[in-house]
Amino acid sequence: MFSLEGLDRTLSILLFTDVTNSKEIQEKVIKAQIEPEFAFVNAAAVLGLLPLRLAAHKAATYDRRGRLVCKSLHAELVFNLSGSKHVSG
């Protein structure tokens, strides 16, 4: 768990292996049917903890300012990790 400096928020990172129902989870995430809400990220696509923490900090900052590009804070985190301006489901 990491504190996002100056934002009174924390980032929890969990790594799951051997997941067999990822399509089902992805569908529920897209439909916001899972509690608590979370960002669903392929760990192989993340270059390290620093880019993940920077993406989370940027998402939380934009959320606090009411300037999210995406519909949710979690989608914003994935968007910030993306190398392009388009995130597909």
Give CA torsion, residues 82, 62, 15, 34, to 10 deg.
-110
Helix (H) or strand (E) run with residue 50 in it: helix 49-64
Q: Residue 11: phi, psi to the nearest 5?
A: -120, 120
Amino acid 80: pLDDT: 92
pLDDT (tens, 9 = 90+) of the chain, 89 residues, equals 777 777 777 778 888 889 899 899 888 877 878 877 788 788 888 889 999 989 999 999 999 999 999 988 888 998 999 877 766 65
Amino acid 34: pLDDT: 81
Write down the pTM of the prediction. Answer: 0.75
Amino acid 21: pLDDT: 93
Helix (H) or strand (E) run with residue 4 in it: strand 2-4
Residue with tokens 């400096």: 5
Amino acid 51: pLDDT: 92
